[in-house]
Structure formats: structure tokens, C-alpha cells
């Protein structure tokens, strides 16, 4: 068996393995089918190119017929890898497959006699020219399509990736055509076509099907691993053959050798790969060590602000990145920057598609991988959602986003703007760093909950004493003032008496709210329509003639929004939200929008205003008792409403409103039927 037959056999075995691999993959994409067809074509070409003797002419027809499908398969593969939906290219792919099918049928069936006669009449030189032309056309068509996509790609990392694939494809094309070119000059040259096709097949499997980025470092490390594995196999099985075992013990010795290889493979080859990386690529290995050191430092007892500062500064240095920023999720697709990033990234934004993508993913997400997933996925809502998230990441000028999760709960993400792309082996280290940050965020939230509980306990202790110590004197002051109001007083004095009565009433209302905050809630649940409760609460508030300059907008609701709630408590919470929305306009004309609906397992009521909105400084303190920006506010309304929502197993979420204002959403578990 000569070199060409051996390389054809190797190519056939590799293509067969890839056919089986992609066929049995669970997570198939748009590139799966064209890659499978390409390997099927490659397998047929390799198998039918090996036989010799009298049968070689018949197998030559079969090899040529299979080779005609190489160009359509490669064009189809590149199209599904980098293009979304381009009708012209789809027509081109179909036309190429039809042309290959017609030509192949003509060669095999003999119905097109002139084609078979023309093929048989070719001289050796003419045959080599036809083969050279076929190789050049099969390779240059997909490379040309990829280069066109490269020119129009706005993202630098993706553009560089496409250029790399194009260059490697061009090198493989020239190497595969080399033996034909040297043939015309009478220079002996080994038949490398099938060997080059096998290497190209491996490269396409890694980049196009598995969406991995093959760098020189990865190739060098993998090459060392493969060579060492081959040495292991040769040493173990060679030693076995030297013993010349009896046939009855050959299987036993083979299994023993296999077990030895399995035991040694993991520790030894891992060390070899690490050693190659350390020796040849010190900068990349140093990056890994810096990321490990960063993860260890973040695991120590740092405050939350210090964690963000260390991550943004030392994380950027460790990665050699241009920028680093942390965003925390606030629910409903809303994100806010945890600390000033020193970049042009926005302080806050809303993107439900990005939040949905991050909730599904645990590992770091490089932008090229997301792009490949979009192009490789089938048309539908899922791909549209990924495309929306991809545009947001590109708008933020980030190259990698790392979800911050604790027990599958998303708290935010770490965004990185890179100077050079990361290798696949560096991504798990990013995840380790992100896990430490997410844990610190979760611990800070738990600590804040304990502080809130401690504040409420303090309020409860104070409330019992204040109820007696304040209300009795207030009652006396009010009674005296009312007595004086009935006397014949000058108009100026009567005005002061009225002020006394009004302020006593206001203080009494504050004290009642204070007691409501401290008193444990007894939730008496019953099935209720939240939209009806919200409508009744709105009618109660807007019956006050003093707020005629505020317009009530009750958005249409389809059907009932049913939940098991305490109707009186929920009514109180919604009234507080509506009052808060009215007061946010500070006496100026405006509108309050009220609506209700479902979001998965949640039923909600939403109250939106056109006030001055929620400042980033105020947002973390919204539901803390006695925190208010109003001149006569108590700072208890939102705190009480949040307690009511939590007592129902829900919560109140606040976010800025597009166009100005704020939106408060009261959420409670929906009734399950």
C-alpha cells in the first residue's frame, strides 16, 4: 500500500468517525447536516480512491462522482456557519447540488454517453488538469463566500476569526493542489490531497461544528498530547507483541494494556499539555495563574464595593483587557452598573433577551461563540432572542459576558472588553472568578436582609411604647385645639388652631403607619381578581377632587388576574403605590397608569407615573423605613407595601419608566388550578 492509499485510508476512517459523531449528537445545529454530507462525500472519495488493478477504472468513476459533491457541501457548510438567510446563496447551493447530481448520474449510469466517452478519452495530463481545476473550484468557492462575509462583518473579533479560517482554508487548498502543480513541472511531490483533506476535516469539526477557537497554543498542546498518546500505544502494544503471547491470552493482554493506557492517560497527558503551554506560551500560562490568584483573593473577606473594585481593576490587568464592568440584575430585564467602570458603558439598561440568555447559561459566553450559535440555530423565537442579546453585547462593546450566579439564580454579569481573544481553557477560570463575585453579592444581600429584620425588630420594640407615650398627649392637644376652634377667636388665631388640628391628624396617621409596620400581618387568603382590587383602589384615590390635574389611565386587561391573597392587605398595598405615584408629580399635571397581568407563575399589578423617576442613589433605599424625599412624607408607605407583598410570598419591584417616571410592580404567586 503506497502513501496515497494510506492517506486515503486515514481520511476515510476520520471522516467515518466524524459522520457518526455528528449524527449521534443531541445538540444539532444548522452546520450539522452540511458537515455530515461533507464527511460522507469525503468517505466515498477516500474509499473509492484506494483500490487498484482492473477494478480501478470503475472505482475511479465512483471517486469522481463523490468528489463532484465536495464543492456544494463546503459552500453549504460555510453558508450555514456565517450567514443567516440569503436567498441568492441558497439558490447557489441548490444549483451546485443539482449540477453535481446530474454530472454524477451521467458518469455512473452511462445515459449521458458523451460524458463517459469524454472522460475515458482524457490523457494522463488532461486528467491531472481536470483534477487540479476541480480542487481549485471546490476550495475557492467557499473561501470566496467566507471572505465576502469577512468584509461586511463589523465586529473585530469575528472578522479576525473569519480571516483565520479563510487563510487556513487557502493554505489547505494550495497544499492539496501542490502535487498536481508540481506534476506539470516534472517535480516529484507526495500525494498529499487526502492527508490535507483529513486535517481540514478536523479543523472544520473544531471550528464550525463545535465552535471552538483553535490557536497555535492549542494546536501545539494537542499535538504533543497526540504524539505522546501514540508513543504510549506503540510502547504498550509493542511490548505486548514482543512477548509473543499465545492466542488464548492475547485478548487478556490487550485488555490489560488498554487499562494501563486509561490509567496513565489523564494525569500524564494533562501535565504534558500544561508543560507545553508553560514552555512555549508563557504569557498565556501567566494569564491563567493571575486569574487563579484573583479568584483566591476574591474568596477572602472583602466588602462588596472592594470586590467590584478589585474585579474591575485586577481582572482587567489579569486578562490584559481594555475594560471590565459588572452589571447587577434588578428583574424584568433591567440591569444597573454595580460601580463606575471608567468606560463608556451605560449606567443602566433594560434587555429581557439578554437576561433570558444569561439565566439559561452557566459558563462564560464569548461573543464569537454567541454569533456562531445564532447562525447555527434554526429560524424561530429562540434565534431572534439570541440575536437581540448579541446586539446588546455589541452595543456595550463587550467581547465576553460571564453570568454571576448562585444556586442557578442570576444576580448579574461580568462584562469584559478584550484586546486579544481568550482560549477555551481560560474560560473555566473566568467562571471561577465569577462564582466568587456572585457569592459575595449573595452574602451582601443576606446581610442586608438581616439588617432589615433587625431594624423591624427595633421598630416593633419602639412602637409599643410610642403608642401610649405619643397618642395620649396628641389626643389632649387635638381636643384642646378643637375646643379653642369653637370659641370666638380672631381669624388669625383660628388659622393657627386649624394648623394644630391638621398637624395632629398627620402625626396620628404617621403613628398608625408606624404601628402597621411593626405589627405582624395575619394573612387571610381567598381567591381574588387583582385587576378588580386595583380598579377599586384607583376609584378610592381618584375620588379626591384635589388631584384633578392627574389623569388615571387603566390599561385594558384580557380576562381576570386571579391570585390567593388577603384582599384588604393587597388593597392597602395598592393604595400606597397609587398614592406614591400621585405624589411623585409634586402637584404638576401628569398621568398614572394602572394595569395587571401574569408573568409565568406570578400575578402582578403595575402602577406607573410620570414623576421625576428613581435616582440610582435612591433605588437601594426605596423600601427602607423612614427613607423619603417628600417634604411631608413618612417614608413608611413603600416599606409597608413591601412587607405585605413578602407576607404573600411575593415582592414589589421598582424600575425607571421609559420617557421619565417610575414603575412599581406588585407581584404575588398566581392561583394554580
Say which range, 253-267, 335-349, 562-576, 612-626, has the weakest mean pLDDT: 253-267
Summarised one tens digit per residue, pLDDT across range 302-315 is: 667 777 777 777 77
Overall average pLDDT of the 321-334 stretch: 81
- Report residue 116's pLDDT band, with 50, 70 and 90 as the boundaries: low
pTM for the structure as a whole: 0.52
CA distance 506 to 500: 10
Give the other-Cβ count within 10 Å of 320's Cβ.
14
Asked if domains 3-210 and 285-436 share a fold, the reply is no
**How many CB atoms within 10 Å of residue 592?**
26
Q: Which residue has the higher pLDDT, 526 or 86?
A: 526
Q: How many angstroms separate the most distant Cα atoms in the chain? A: 133
Grid cell of 69 as nine digits: 459533491
What is the spatial distance between Cα 374 and Cα 394, in angstroms, rounded to a whole number?
A: 14
The pairing of beta strand 590-599 with beta strand 550-554 = parallel
Identify whether the C-beta of residue 66 lies closer than 8 Å to the C-beta of residue 358: no
Residue 270 has pLDDT above 60, yes or no: yes
Q: Collapse the DSSP code of 24 into the 3-class scheme (helix H, G, I; strand E, B; otherwise coil) and give the result.
A: coil
User: What is the rounded average pLDDT of the residues 102-114?
Assistant: 70
Topology (CATH) of 526-669: Heat Shock Protein 90 (3.30.565)
Its CATH class, for the domain covering 285-436, is alpha beta
| Architecture of the CATH domain 449-518 | Orthogonal Bundle (1.10)
- The answer to whether residue 666 scores a pLDDT higher than 90 is yes
* Mean pLDDT within 276-293: 67
Let me know: does 504 contact 481? Beta carbons within 8 Å: yes
With vertex at residue 670, the alpha carbon angle to CA 650 and CA 380, rounded to the nearest 5 degrees, is 105
| Cα 225 from Cα 238, distance rounded (Å) | 19
Higher pLDDT pick, 638 / 124: 638
Mean pLDDT, residues 233-243: 66
Whole-number average pLDDT of the chain: 77
Distances in whole angstroms, Cα of residue 333 to Cα of each of 355, 367, 378: 5, 20, 24
pLDDT of residue 499: 79
pLDDT value of position 278: 61
The pLDDT value given to residue 53: 42
Q: Which three cell numbers stand for residue 58?
A: 470503475
| pLDDT value of residue 613 | 82
Taking the CA atoms of 160, 164, 170 and 173 in sequence, report the sign of the dihedral they define: negative
Task: Dump pLDDT digits (tens) for 351-387.
Answer: 888 888 888 888 888 877 777 677 656 667 877 888 8
pLDDT, position 283: 59
Which residue has 480512491 as its cell numbers?
A: 49
> What does the pLDDT average to over 169-194?
73
For residue 54, pLDDT beyond 50: no
**pLDDT per residue over 78-93, tens digit each?**
888 877 667 888 888 8
Does the pLDDT of residue 63 top 90, yes or no?
no
Q: Is the pLDDT of residue 50 over 50?
A: yes
Looking at per-residue confidence, does 466 or 150 come out higher?
150
In degrees, rounded to 5, the angle at the alpha carbon of residue 193 between the alpha carbons of residues 190 and 196 is 105
- The CATH class for the domain spanning 3-210 reads mainly alpha
pLDDT of 450 > 60? The answer is yes
The full set of domain ranges for the chain reads 3-210, 223-277, 285-436, 449-518, 526-669
Nearest C-alpha neighbor of 313 from the set 393, 398, 424, 416 = 416
- The rounded distance, in Å, linking the Cα atoms of 339 and 8 is 59
Q: What is the pLDDT of residues 148-162, one digit of tens each?
A: 888 887 766 677 778
Look at 66-70, 126-130, 468-472 and tell me which has the smallest mean pLDDT.
Answer: 468-472
Question: Phi and psi at residue 420, in whole multiples of 5°?
Answer: -135, 150
* pLDDT band, very low/low/confident/very high, at 294 (cuts 50, 70, 90): confident
Measured CA to CA, the distance from residue 304 to residue 616 in angstroms comes to: 17
* pLDDT band at residue 667 using 50, 70 and 90 as cut-offs: very high
Return d(Cα 244, Cα 564) in angstroms, integer: 80
* Residues 61-82, mean pLDDT to the nearest whole number: 85
Amino acid at each position: 500500500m503506497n502513501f496515497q492509499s494510506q492517506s486515503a485510508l486515514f481520511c476515510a476512517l476520520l471522516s467515518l468517525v466524524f459522520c457518526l459523531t455528528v449524527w449521534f449528537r443531541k445538540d444539532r445545529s444548522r452546520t450539522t447536516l452540511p458537515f455530515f454530507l461533507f464527511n460522507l462525500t469525503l468517505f466515498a472519495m477516500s474509499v473509492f480512491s484506494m483500490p487498484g488493478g482492473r477494478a480501478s477504472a470503475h472505482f475511479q468513476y465512483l471517486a469522481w462522482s463523490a468528489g463532484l459533491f465536495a464543492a456544494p457541501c463546503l459552500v453549504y457548510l460555510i453558508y450555514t456557519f456565517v450567514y443567516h438567510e440569503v436567498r441568492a446563496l441558497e439558490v447557489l447551493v441548490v444549483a451546485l447540488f443539482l449540477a453535481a447530481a446530474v454530472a454524477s448520474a451521467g458518469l455512473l449510469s452511462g445515459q449521458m454517453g458523451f460524458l463517459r466517452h469524454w472522460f475515458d478519452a482524457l490523457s494522463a495530463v488532461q486528467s491531472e488538469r481536470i483534477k487540479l481545476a476541480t480542487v481549485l473550484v471546490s476550495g475557492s468557492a467557499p473561501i470566496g463566500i467566507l471572505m465576502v462575509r469577512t468584509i461586511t462583518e463589523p465586529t473585530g473579533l469575528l472578522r479576525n476569526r473569519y480571516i483565520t479560517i479563510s487563510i487556513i482554508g487557502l493554505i489547505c487548498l494550495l497544499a492539496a493542489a501542490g502535487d498536481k502543480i508540481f506534476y506539470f513541472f516534472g517535480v516529484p511531490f507526495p500525494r498529499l490531497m487526502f492527508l490535507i483533506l483529513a486535517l481540514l476535516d478536523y479543523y472544520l469539526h473544531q471550528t464550525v461544528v463545535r465552535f471552538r477557537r483553535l490557536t497555535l497554543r492549542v494546536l501545539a498542546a494537542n499535538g504533543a498530547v497526540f504524539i505522546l498518546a501514540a508513543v504510549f500505544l506503540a510502547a504498550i502494544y509493542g511490548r505486548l507483541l514482543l512477548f509473543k503471547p499465545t492466542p488464548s491470552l492475547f485478548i487478556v493482554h490487550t485488555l490489560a494494556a488498554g487499562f494501563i493506557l486509561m490509567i496513565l492517560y489523564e494525569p500524564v497527558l494533562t501535565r504534558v499539555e500544561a508543560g507545553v503551554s508553560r514552555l512555549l506560551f508563557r504569557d498565556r500560562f501567566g494569564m491563567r495563574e493571575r486569574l487563579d490568584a484573583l479568584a483566591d483573593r476574591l474568596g477572602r473577606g472583602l466588602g462588596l464595593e472592594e470586590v467590584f473594585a478589585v474585579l474591575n481593576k485586577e481582572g482587567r490587568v489579569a486578562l490584559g483587557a481594555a475594560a471590565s464592568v459588572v452589571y447587577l440584575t434588578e428583574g424584568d430585564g433591567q440591569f444597573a452598573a454595580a460601580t463606575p467602570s471608567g468606560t463608556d458603558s451605560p449606567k443602566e439598561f433594560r434587555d429581557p433577551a439578554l437576561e433570558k440568555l444569561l439565566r439559561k447559561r452557566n459558563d462564560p459566553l464569548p461573543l464569537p461563540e454567541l454569533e456562531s450559535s445564532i447562525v447555527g440555530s434554526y429560524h424561530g423565537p429562540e434565534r431572534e432572542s439570541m440575536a437581540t442579546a448579541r446586539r446588546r453585547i455589541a452595543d456595550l462593546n463587550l467581547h465576553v459576558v460571564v453570568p454571576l450566579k448562585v444556586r442557578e439564580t442570576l444576580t448579574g454579569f461580568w462584562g469584559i472588553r478584550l484586546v486579544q481573544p481568550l482560549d477555551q481553557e481560560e474560560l473555566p477560570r473566568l467562571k471561577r472568578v465569577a462564582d466568587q463575585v456572585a457569592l459575595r453579592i449573595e452574602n451582601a444581600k443576606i446581610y442586608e436582609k438581616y439588617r432589615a429584620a433587625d431594624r423591624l425588630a427595633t421598630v416593633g420594640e419602639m412602637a409599643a411604647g410610642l403608642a401610649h407615650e405619643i397618642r395620649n398627649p396628641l389626643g389632649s392637644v387635638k381636643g384642646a385645639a378643637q375646643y379653642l376652634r369653637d370659641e370666638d377667636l380672631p381669624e388669625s388665631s383660628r388659622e393657627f388652631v386649624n394648623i394644630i388640628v391638621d398637624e395632629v391628624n398627620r402625626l396620628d396617621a404617621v403613628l398608625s403607619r408606624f404601628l402597621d409596620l411593626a405589627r405582624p400581618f395575619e394573612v387571610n387568603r381567598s381567591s381574588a381578581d387583582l385587576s378588580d382590587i386595583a380598579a377599586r383602589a384607583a376609584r378610592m384615590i381618584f375620588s379626591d377632587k384635589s388631584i384633578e390635574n392627574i389623569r388615571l389611565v387603566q390599561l385594558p386587561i384580557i380576562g381576570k388576574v386571579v391570585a390567593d391573597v388577603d384582599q384588604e392587605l393587597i388593597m392597602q398595598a395598592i393604595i400606597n403605590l397609587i398614592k406614591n405615584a400621585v405624589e411623585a408629580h409634586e402637584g404638576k399635571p401628569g398621568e398614572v397608569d394602572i394595569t395587571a397581568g401574569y408573568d409565568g407563575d406570578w400575578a402582578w399589578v403595575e402602577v406607573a407615573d410620570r414623576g421625576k423617576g428613581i435616582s440610582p442613589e435612591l433605588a437601594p433605599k426605596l423600601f427602607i423605613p423612614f427613607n423619603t424625599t417628600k417634604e411631608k412624607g413618612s417614608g413608611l408607605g413603600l416599606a409597608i407595601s413591601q412587607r405585605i407583598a413578602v407576607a404573600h410570598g411575593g415582592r414589589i419591584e421598582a424600575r425607571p419608566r421609559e420617557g421619565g417616571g417610575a414603575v412599581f410592580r406588585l407581584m404575588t404567586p398566581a392561583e394554580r388550578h
